[in-house]
Amino acid sequence: MALKIDLENCIGCGSCVSACPFGALALNADGKAEVNEACRMCGSCVDACPVGAITLEKEAAAGTDDLASYKGLWVYAEQRDGALHEVVFELLGKGRELASAMGCPLSAVLLGHGVEGLADALFAHGADQVFLVDDPALEKYSSEPYAEAMCALIEKHRPAAILAGATTAGRSFIPRVAVREHTGLTADCTGLAINADGLLEQTRPAFGGNIMAAILCPDHRPQMATVRPKVFAPAPAEEGRKGVLVREELSLAPPVVQVVKTVRALENELNVTQADIVVSGGRGLGKSENFALLRELADALGGAAIGASRAAVDAEWISAFHQVGQTGKTVRPKLYIACGISGQIQHLVGMNSAETIVAINKDPDAPIFDVADIGIVGDLFEVVPALIRALKQG
Ligand SMILES: Cc1cc2nc3c(=O)[nH]c(=O)nc-3n(C[C@H](O)[C@H](O)[C@H](O)COP(=O)(O)OP(=O)(O)OC[C@H]3O[C@@H](n4cnc5c(N)ncnc54)[C@H](O)[C@@H]3O)c2cc1C
């Protein structure tokens, strides 16, 4: 937005000066209205001017011109060390459905160096075409060259919408892309659909998870959304499915940030987003040491990841790496065992897609029982040891 004062029409009456709540207008030496940096574009002066000499003009931004010329749905095909991230297959699954509703092809964007071999997996999982940028500057992930490459592709091919994983990399470079392209981005979507006007309807929790907001980006392109891993089911592979590989040559500047060494945090811990079984503990565990009981149960189950509620993380009984929920991770295991977790909405949004949910809680009215397939009302310090004994016996 920009505030414009037509000095020829301005009669120097001072109405705008008294109307401005921010003290941003004054009369200059020639008796004409003048605006300073305190202006918040509220429009009070526009309404107050008796001769229509002040206007608020919307500046045309990139991504707002000729919206109909933006076509196609893209999925960012995140790869790390030459392996595609699981979220890519989930986005391709959802993307296929959305692309059909939009009546457009589904494309994947593959950025990296020496990663052309991954294109076949993208075709097999539903991509009709793959835009490949193979460049030494993209060998190690760094947000600048990745954002530069994505923006160059957007400006050349003008996609209508882009989906990316809300992973560490996605969270760091996709917002840069949205800012550079002057478009909107809805982070951490839990639902995506195409509405009656053909727009991408992006649903995500808002106001602390108490409401689900449906968000549209009607005036800018591309429409951009990130989705956490495990929110959507992965697209099944159709071996031998073919698509079109589009190789793009870009002259990318070498990254300013050099990755010297990658150190993996918590090397020996199973990640809750990847495990088939997650055993989670909440405030009901009472203290940090009691997570040992859950680890014992995890071992008796033949290996399970340890999850936690935010209450357990906030109490510093376990690290945030394990947190499940709105501000933690979203999980979709075959089996989720919630021990001493009440089941507040912010926890449920992170685990209610698990295939089977077992809840152990001494409060029969705990909301976790509303989503549980098997509910055990009892003291976890009695129930969990009994489960461990039963598993070891049989
Ligand atoms: C913006 C925002 C984001 C949030 N994000 C998250 C998030 O990502 N993940 C998350 O988990 N929370 C999140 N929260 C917090 C959330 O609202 C709850 O406060 C939290 O999930 C509660 O954790 P809890 O169930 O472990 O604790 P409580 O709600 O205190 O529940 C403890 C449960 O343990 C049971 N219990 C106690 N002793 C025993 C026993 N011996 N045996 C069996 N049961 C027992 C009790 O009956 C009770 O139901 C968020 C909140 C906000 C506002």
Any atom of ligand 1 within 6 Å of the Cβ of 15: no
Per-residue pLDDT of the chain (394 residues; tens, 9 = 90+): 688 999 999 999 999 999 999 999 999 999 999 999 889 888 999 999 999 999 988 665 555 668 889 999 999 999 998 999 999 999 999 999 999 999 999 999 999 999 999 999 999 999 999 999 999 999 999 999 999 999 999 999 999 999 999 998 999 999 999 999 999 999 999 999 999 999 999 999 887 677 889 999 999 999 999 999 989 999 999 999 999 999 999 989 888 888 888 877 665 678 898 899 999 999 999 999 999 999 999 999 999 999 999 999 999 999 999 999 999 999 999 999 999 999 999 999 999 999 999 999 999 999 999 999 999 999 999 999 999 999 999 7
Chain Cα centroid distance, residue 64: 23
298 within 8 A of 305, measured Cβ to Cβ: yes
The DSSP code for 236 is P
- CA 281 to ligand 1: nearest atom: 26
Answer whether 377 contacts ligand 1 (Cβ < 6 A): no
Do domains 67-247 and 277-393 share one topology? The answer is yes
Q: Is 94 in the pocket of ligand 1 (CB under 6 A)?
A: no
CA of 340 to the centre of ligand 1 (A): 8
Give 47-90 as a DSSP string: HH-TT--EEEEPPPPTT-S-GGG---EEEE--EETTEE-HHHHH
Q: Comparing C-alpha atoms, which of 116, 122, 134 is closest to residue 91?
A: 122
Residue range 277-393 forms a domain whose CATH class is alpha beta
Q: Is the CB of 362 under 6 A from ligand 1?
A: yes
Cβ-proximal residues to 365 (8 Å cutoff; 6+ apart), any chain: none
Close Cβ partners of 111 (under 8 Å, ≥ 6 residues apart) = 76, 77, 79, 133, 135, 138, 146, 149, 150
Cα-based distances in Å from 106 to 87, 92, 109, 247:
16, 8, 10, 16
Say if ligand 1 is within 6 A of residue 307 CB: no
Give the up-direction half-sphere exposure of residue 270: CA atoms within 13 A in the CB hemisphere.
19
Among left, alpha and beta (phi > 0; psi -120 to 50; other), residue 126 is left
Residue 62: the pLDDT is: 56
Give pTM, 2 decimals: 0.70
CATH class entry, domain 2-57 = alpha beta
What SS3 class is residue 142? coil
The amino acid present at 164, given as its one-letter code, is: A
Residue 28 half-sphere exposure toward CB, CA atoms < 13 A: 9
Half-sphere exposure of 350 (CA within 13 A, CB side): 23
Cβ of 44 less than 6 Å from ligand 1: no
Rounded Cα distance between 369 and 2, Å, is 54
User: Which residue(s) pair with 153 in the sheet?
Assistant: none
For residue 345, report the distance from its CA to the centre of ligand 1, in Å: 9
312 lines ligand 1 (CB under 6 A): yes
Q: Enumerate the domain spans of the chain.
A: 2-57, 67-247, 277-393
Q: Are the C-beta atoms of 172 and 202 separated by less than 8 Å? A: no
CATH class of the 67-247 domain in this structure: alpha beta
For residue 323, the Cα-to-chain-centroid distance in whole angstroms is 17
Axis crossing angle, helix 168-180 with helix 143-157, rounded to the nearest 10:
50
- Atom of ligand 1 at shortest range from CA of 343: 25
* Ligand 1 midpoint to CA 328 (Å): 13
